[in-house]
Structure 1
Amino acid sequence: MKSSSKIPASDTAIRKQKRKSIACRRCHSHKIKCTGDQPCLKCRQAGCPAECHYVNRDRQIKVHESYLEELAAENQRLRAQLSQSPSFLTPREYQAHDESVPEQDADTHVRNPMLGERAWFLPHDPSLPPIHVCEAACTAFATRLRKVLTKSETTSHMPRTQYTPEDTLMKIRNPAMPWPNLAQARLLIQIVSNQVTRVYHLILRKSTIDQLEEAYREGNFDDPVLTCKFFALFALGEVYSARSSPSLECNVPGVAYYVNAMTTIPILPERPSLAHIESLLLLSLYSFFLNRRHSAFLLVGSAMRLGLTVGLNHNIPESKCPDPVRRQHRTRLWWAIYVFDRMYGSKVGWPIQISDADIYVDMPSNVPGDIHNDHTSDTEFLIASIELAKITGQVIDRVYSRKVFPESFLQREQKLLISLKEWSCALPPQLRLSRDGPVPMNVISLHLQFNQCIMLASRPVLLHALIQATSPEAITEDSSQANIRQTLKALSDACIHAARHTHLLIVEEWTNASVPIFGYFYAHYLFSSALIMVISSLVYPENSNDFALFEAAFEILRAMSSHGNLAATEFYDNLECVKQCLNEKRGSEGGHFQSDPSRAVESSTEPLAVIAPNQLGLFGNTSASGVPDPTVPTDPANDMAFLGESMEEFLAQPEADFDLLDPSLTDAVYLWPNLSLWTA
């Protein structure tokens, strides 16, 4: 009897699922049958088993449409849960669709809580790549603050649109642009010497004046590198004097010189000169007046790489460069590149471009017998600037990078603040702030950068304090103040005091008409401190007057913006959005805040009148009566003991003691797992 040939359906499915064998590359090329082994029989017989390789093929698998619909519904459900979650500090609305899945292995317990697992990208122009938002940027911090205030994932970052674009610059370009007359050129160079080269060593003063005189005497205006250098100097001279007539395309003075210098200088010189590197640094500095931060970053990066090609990061032997002034100029020019690299990174959040371990050149020093005083910057000032720039680079690396560190977040904070304290205590007397007489502009600039470094390092902790103060759990228990450990309070106080000090210094410069109306850095420092003032007034009831300082900064930025300052316009727009969020919050959930910031300005309709310098202590401390605190030290930036015993205890605390702090203080606020500022 013939057996049945019917095959079960399961066996049929198994046969269909059986992988179809393929030939290895060698058998396929020789068109012979392959056994499918590894190595196959034919390759073994031919004596070349190492050549037996198979092509990886991506098979297409059919799935039911209902399964795809279930996956889409599950994805939508997870997105809805994420949008309702309080974890609004991660920039998930700008990330790809698959990034909405939380990462289980993220080392968030040792990272700045402001950072997400992935980089933050903002889609803006469909024809261009998305904008990368650096977390250390103050505008990014402003967006984080607005997210905390609104508790909404839909709060979007404001893209930077207030800058001079390339098409506008090309309209201004004039290849036949003449040089100014000699008298005007001398004045512009003198302005740069007073405003720029006292802070950064970019040129040799006497040598530059000699080159200028020689160019006019001999009519030598055809050298492209020399023309670029002087046009960059003329551009800076005009923008600092702010006396030139703006063009129809751009309101920033000196832009015509800048455009022609940018199009004159060779981009890739095989044998760069020092004048070429000087020009790049001058042009990078002017780019900030146009709010072209990316251009400034690229220019200083080019200057650094050209400096590496000529060995500026090494000491040059005396036999190769006998002139001591020239040798010292090489040294100082390299350190100017170094300071620019760290300083630009602190403004926007870019990583440092060269490690300290790759620098072998000595620190700046005095040149005996320099009768012309060709070094326009004080040696001790330059050394202090370099040391501060080094700490600034460490802040960007240790607080705002996504590296995995062996220490906890607070341990890194402690080391950074110890470095800042040691730096401030080591300042020579002439670089300390004093009320005995006028303070030089370069000293003010140095302390503004010092305060900014403190704010960069500590403002994530202050933002954390705001999250605690506005969380429903903290409000219900009425313990938003009591639950903040003394360690966090000390770090928050450091941030607030630095912001007040920055505010006071800039307000005094503003009232003395010493602030460059088109300047970038004063506007940036003021914007950074204003954000801290908002948080301070919301978290701590005793700091309600800090909102008056925010209002004053808002008015100064508005005035600078109305005169055509592009950076101030960007920062003013961001502060305006912050004010709008505050008004909406007070209208809907105002009772959740610890103080009402509007009370700080009820007594005056003019915000600047509330914070006149003679009504503030050196750190901007205000009391209910407006009388400055007489206990404020004369120069608090020189010793961080002004923050009290809590800061001293924090700086002296052994690293092991951080593990004893209770991590549950933040676990109740941040709902994603394993997030603690303390544990390593």
Structure 2
Amino acid sequence: MMEDIPGTTDSLRRRSFLPNKVVACHRCHGKKIKCSGGHPCRNCVQAEKGTACVYPQRNRSVKVSQRFIDGLLEEIDCLKQDQTARRHVPAPDGTQLIECDVTENVSSPSSRTGPRDHVQGTGRGECQGETDSNAHRQATSSEVFQSTVTAPSVTPAEADPEPVNSEQRPANLTFNQAPWFDNRNVFQTPVLISETADAAFATRFRQVISNPEGPEPVHLLRVNYANNEALMTLKESNIEWPTLARARFLIEAATKYANRYYYIIHRSSVLEGLSRCLLEPPGSESVLRCKYWALFAIGELCATRSPVTQSYPGMSYFAQASKMLGYLDERPGTDSIEALLLLSMYSLALNRRYSAYIISGTAMRSAIVMGLHLNIPESQLADLAIRDHRKRLFWTAYMFDRMWGANLGHPTAIQDDGIEIDLPLTPSPTESFQSEGGSKDDLESAYYVANIELARHLTSVIRSVYSRPGHQDTQLATRVQASLQDLQSWVNRLPPHLQVDPLAETRNDLNAVSLNLLFYQCVIIATRPILLHALRVQVTASQSTTSSPLTSQVPASAAALSEACIRCARHSFQLLAQSWIDGTFVTFDCFFTQYLFSSMTILAISSILDKQNAHSDRDSFEEASRLLRELKGAGNCVAQEYCHHVEAIEAALSDHVKAVITPQDMSALDPTAMSASVISQNSQNPSASVVSTANFPWTDSSLQMLLSQPPLDMQFLEDAVRDRHPQGLYRSDPNYEG
């Protein structure tokens, strides 16, 4: 026996306290020299290789008792049961079913994988620069399509199991309570994901209809964009200046495309400045020359008709124009602001949204430095054309800053109370934007004024619906109602020439179409959280065996807002389809592509929510997905990103239909099983299947009544948008750490 050997116990006790053997760093191990340990070690410090001193990771084998393992398994089972109970819990009043936030479990391998979330695939015409850095990301799907959600830990003192009154317990705001960060190891730093983004809403939609027993779908990474390495390579290369004929052609194409939405440049002044630019030395990198490089990039982007096989259209010109970002003018001029706005617009086509937002913010701040946000006296600037150009240029930067920031959920560069410049040909408050019999310049001014005010309303909608709680002085219901009333007032003031009629035989004006599409997008962004809440109520009721008919209903006010969202999505897709037929849907148009994806996501929800028009909305969704895939095949970077989400949505819809729809319902959804009465009814009234968008009939009588009611009648928005639930409904587990 070891106890009988003298000194054995003391020897073992001393051995247990001996220091561990020092593990050599990689550099010392490779040189076969003794490593002193530490970070960095002595040898690496002497060789001035402190940053290269890295130690191998040790994988120790630790013996644990069987009781400890059994306890872990019991805790896992308890957490799974608690997670299922947290997903779908009826409200205390029993009026509706609502979903609680479920922290994404990333420690379990089953929660990190899912067939519908690993959507990959790159067709021809992928954005230049993806094949190098992004190919590695796509090859490692475990890193690309899995997110890590960090939640605050809960100490036993905080997780008090004693019963507490649910009315006294603080509300659990799971929507927008904490910022949504994408913390995957493919990024150098966590990336902020905005709830206002269309891709983020598509992820929320897939999470609602997913199987509660399976892994929760995660957000798909945005990998389809031109990376920095590709742009740096093109920037260092020597790109020849196009010939005079080619330059004029690209400028014509760029001017027509840029001015179809916003005012940036004068066509006549640009053609005059081209001759001055040709007189500069070939190696010159002046602001004027960079502006023409940006014009060439946009012109080639719009003039390209064939699918992209190698480089993205105009990206070489864009890389040359980006050289001006290396040095910013201490005293910026209008040429500098115009170049920045053009670079921002082209960055969106490359799907570089963050870069576009940063560049537009730089343009706005340059305009502020120039004093474009203030009215300049006529005594200091007598030229009326220059004053009008300064005015319009500022408002274009204003719209860029607000619209780009709204898509990302980021703040604006300047507040409205700091702007003193007048609107272009501002109408009186009691009149519409412009009378019917105005001149061409007056009609264009009316379009610009309407577009500016709509961009302002979009920012108001984002702040009202998606702002962080605790940062507002008024209730959410009051802010949402005020935003919708502002949109309704905007519609009432819109002149007839800026409205569209899909039943008209003549082609609609392009400015009117783009304005209508932006308006529909504003309404969709404002109301789609309510639509998602209505879908959640229906899905929860279908998955629950104890739900009553009352619990599967939503308030009439929520139903009215959901219907307005669906109606706007139908109008938007109809205008986009007509633009495709008319040839005005440019292949690389990032704005129309975004509107297409936004509307088709709503149509996908309507296909399983609205039983009356489910088949029609599903057909529209499939047609929209086909158009989006054509844009992807042509090389549209924005469409390439959205196609990943579309494939995931299609897989989620298929799984949801298999899970909740019976064979009898499947036969009812079959197009061949449609009754003859329905077909004859549609043939007798063809306009019934095509919703008219004339005079913006986006609001029905129920929604009109809702907008006229006091804010207290819209209190359900606090629960629908924020998903507020009393914590007293859930059992607190002191061992649960989020």
TM class by smaller structure: 0.7 to 0.9
Judged with a 3 Å threshold, the aligned counterparts in structure 2 of structure 1 residues 247 and 634 are, in CA distance, closer, same or farther, namely closer
Once the two structures are superposed, the pairs formed by residues 422-461 of structure 1 within 5 Å of their partners are 422-434=489-501, 435=504, 437-461=506-530
Partner of residue 140, structure 1: 200
% same residue: 32
Judged with a 3 Å threshold, the aligned counterparts in structure 2 of structure 1 residues 664 and 307 are, in CA distance, closer, same or farther, namely closer
Once the two structures are superposed, the pairs formed by residues 168-183 of structure 1 within 5 Å of their partners are 168-183=230-245
**Farther-moved stretch of structure 1 (408-417 vs 447-456):** 408-417
Partner of residue 410, structure 1: 477
Once the two structures are superposed, the pairs formed by residues 477-516 of structure 1 within 5 Å of their partners are 477=547, 479=549, 483-516=553-586
Residue 132 of structure 1 aligns to a residue whose secondary structure is strand
Shift of 1:375: 7.3
Partner of residue 38, structure 2: none
**Farther-moved stretch of structure 1 (82-91 vs 511-520):** 82-91
Q: Counterparts of 2:360 and 2:719 in 1: how far apart (Å)? A: 45
Partner of residue 468, structure 1: 537
The answer to whether the 8 Å contact 1:197/1:376 transfers is no
Give structure 1 stretches of 5+ with no counterpart: 1-64, 367-372, 605-620, 676-680
Amino acid at match of 2:576: I
The answer to whether the 8 Å contact 1:225/1:265 transfers is no
Partner of residue 560, structure 1: 631
Q: Counterparts of 2:593 and 2:626 in 1: how far apart (Å)? A: 11
Judged with a 3 Å threshold, the aligned counterparts in structure 2 of structure 1 residues 164 and 634 are, in CA distance, closer, same or farther, namely same
Q: Counterparts of 2:572 and 2:270 in 1: how far apart (Å)? A: 34
**Alignment pair present for 1:647 and 2:703:** yes
The answer to whether the 8 Å contact 2:541/2:552 transfers is no
Q: Counterparts of 1:283 and 1:229 in 2: how far apart (Å)? A: 9
Amino acid at match of 1:253: P
CA deviation profile, 1:492-536 (whole Å, cap 9, x unmatched)? 111001000010011111122321112211111111111111111
Q: Counterparts of 1:467 and 1:538 in 2: how far apart (Å)? A: 11
Amino acid at match of 2:607: S
Q: Counterparts of 1:332 and 1:220 in 2: how far apart (Å)? A: 32
The answer to whether the 8 Å contact 2:530/2:717 transfers is no
Shift of 1:398: 1.0
**Alignment pair present for 1:92 and 2:103:** yes
Amino acid at match of 2:558: L
Q: Counterparts of 2:681 and 2:337 in 1: how far apart (Å)? A: 50
Q: Counterparts of 2:680 and 2:153 in 1: how far apart (Å)? A: 46
**Alignment pair present for 1:586 and 2:640:** no
Judged with a 3 Å threshold, the aligned counterparts in structure 2 of structure 1 residues 584 and 194 are, in CA distance, closer, same or farther, namely same
Q: Counterparts of 1:274 and 1:510 in 2: how far apart (Å)? A: 35
Q: How many residues align?
A: 579
Q: Counterparts of 2:398 and 2:74 in 1: how far apart (Å)? A: 51
Partner of residue 571, structure 1: 642
Amino acid at match of 1:380: A
Shift of 1:264: 4.0
Q: Counterparts of 2:717 and 2:284 in 1: how far apart (Å)? A: 69
Shift of 1:310: 1.3
Shift of 1:224: 1.6
**Alignment pair present for 1:312 and 2:343:** no
Residue 315 of structure 1 aligns to a residue whose secondary structure is coil
The answer to whether the 8 Å contact 1:538/1:595 transfers is no
Once the two structures are superposed, the pairs formed by residues 124-523 of structure 1 within 5 Å of their partners are 124-126=184-186, 128-150=188-210, 151=212, 154-216=216-278, 222=284, 224-243=286-305, 248=310, 250=311, 252-365=312-425, 378-404=444-470, 405-434=472-501, 435=504, 437-472=506-541, 477=547, 479=549, 483-523=553-593
Tell me: higher relative CO, structure 1 or 2? Use CA pairs within 8 A at least 6 residues apart. 2
The answer to whether the 8 Å contact 1:86/1:670 transfers is no
Shift of 1:571: 0.7
Amino acid at match of 1:654: P
Judged with a 3 Å threshold, the aligned counterparts in structure 2 of structure 1 residues 663 and 391 are, in CA distance, closer, same or farther, namely closer
Give structure 2 stretches of 5+ with no counterpart: 1-63, 89-98, 105-147, 160-165, 427-438, 730-738
Partner of residue 51, structure 1: none
Partner of residue 604, structure 2: 534
Residue 462 of structure 1 aligns to a residue whose secondary structure is helix
Judged with a 3 Å threshold, the aligned counterparts in structure 2 of structure 1 residues 497 and 600 are, in CA distance, closer, same or farther, namely farther
Shift of 1:408: 3.9
The answer to whether the 8 Å contact 2:250/2:295 transfers is yes
Shift of 1:174: 4.9
Judged with a 3 Å threshold, the aligned counterparts in structure 2 of structure 1 residues 196 and 481 are, in CA distance, closer, same or farther, namely farther
Shift of 1:79: 5.0
Once the two structures are superposed, the pairs formed by residues 596-615 of structure 1 within 5 Å of their partners are 599=669
Shift of 1:359: 1.2
Give TM-score, length-normalised by structure 2: 0.71
Judged with a 3 Å threshold, the aligned counterparts in structure 2 of structure 1 residues 506 and 662 are, in CA distance, closer, same or farther, namely closer
Q: Counterparts of 1:632 and 1:576 in 2: how far apart (Å)? A: 27
Q: Counterparts of 1:309 and 1:656 in 2: how far apart (Å)? A: 44
Once the two structures are superposed, the pairs formed by residues 114-129 of structure 1 within 5 Å of their partners are 115-126=175-186, 128-129=188-189
CA deviation profile, 1:215-239 (whole Å, cap 9, x unmatched)? 3367777352111100101111111
Judged with a 3 Å threshold, the aligned counterparts in structure 2 of structure 1 residues 392 and 600 are, in CA distance, closer, same or farther, namely farther
The answer to whether the 8 Å contact 1:228/1:265 transfers is no
Q: Counterparts of 1:357 and 1:82 in 2: how far apart (Å)? A: 49
Q: Counterparts of 2:272 and 2:619 in 1: how far apart (Å)? A: 50
Q: Counterparts of 1:292 and 1:591 in 2: how far apart (Å)? A: 44
CA deviation profile, 1:342-379 (whole Å, cap 9, x unmatched)? 2113333223332111111111129xxxxxx9979811
Shift of 1:645: 1.4
The answer to whether the 8 Å contact 1:89/1:147 transfers is no
Amino acid at match of 1:441: L
Once the two structures are superposed, the pairs formed by residues 44-83 of structure 1 within 5 Å of their partners are 80=80, 83=83
Q: Counterparts of 1:489 and 1:245 in 2: how far apart (Å)? A: 43
